[in-house]
């Protein structure tokens, strides 16, 4: 198994683990998600799907690299979403009509899969700390790690000095 395939598998696993933890936090511990939270869940799930596809296409190196590039772009989008939630949205009384809210509602994901993508809190209300670190910063940190892993998957032979 190539380095790129291993990295894509690891990225997919970490993304699914992140969504699993978010669902346990919501359904077991009562941490209700906001629009930006569920948008990040969607980004994690799409990243996982892209990485699984890239792993399955391990014989087609160009397609595998394309999947690694898509994962990189998605993870950068995740960083932006987490940054926006942390610096802007969670300081607003309502995140109604923000990009995340409009996107999740217009796609119908919140209505069709409310257990996964339902928006049940404002960003201000969804502000929660775990081990003294805000939940959104955990998400941002994971997106940063995944971005680095995606870069390494794109160029596995580049040696760091």
Other beta carbons within 10 angstroms of residue 115's beta carbon come to 8
Instruction: Tell me which of 130 and 66 has the higher pLDDT.
Output: 66
Domains defined for the chain, CATH in brackets:
3-154 (1.20.1550)
Residue with tokens 């892993």: 149
* Residue 143 confidence (pLDDT) above 90: yes
Can you give the pTM of this predicted structure?
0.91
Cβ-contact 139, 19 below 8 angstroms: no
Cβ-contact 47, 81 below 8 angstroms: no
- Residue 158 confidence class, pLDDT cut points 50, 70, 90: low
* Residue 24 confidence (pLDDT) above 90: yes
């Amino acid at each position: 198994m190539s380095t790129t395939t291993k990295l894509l598998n690891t990225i997919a696993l970490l993304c699914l683990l992140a969504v699993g933890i978010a669902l346990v936090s919501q359904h077991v511990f009562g941490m209700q998600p906001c629009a930006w939270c569920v948008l990040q869940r969607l980004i994690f799930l799409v990243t996982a799907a892209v990485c699984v596809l890239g792993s399955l296409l391990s014989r087609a190196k160009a397609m595998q690299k394309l999947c690694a590039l898509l994962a990189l772009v998605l993870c950068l989008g995740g960083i932006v979403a987490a940054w926006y939630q942390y610096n802007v949205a969670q300081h607003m009384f309502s995140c109604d009509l923000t990009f995340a809210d409009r996107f999740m509602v217009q796609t119908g994901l919140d209505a069709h899969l409310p257990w996964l993508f339902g928006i049940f809190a404002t960003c201000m209300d969804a502000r929660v700390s775990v081990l003294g670190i805000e939940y959104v910063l955990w998400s941002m940190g994971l997106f940063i790690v995944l971005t680095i892993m995606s870069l390494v998957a794109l160029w596995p032979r580049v040696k760091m000095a």
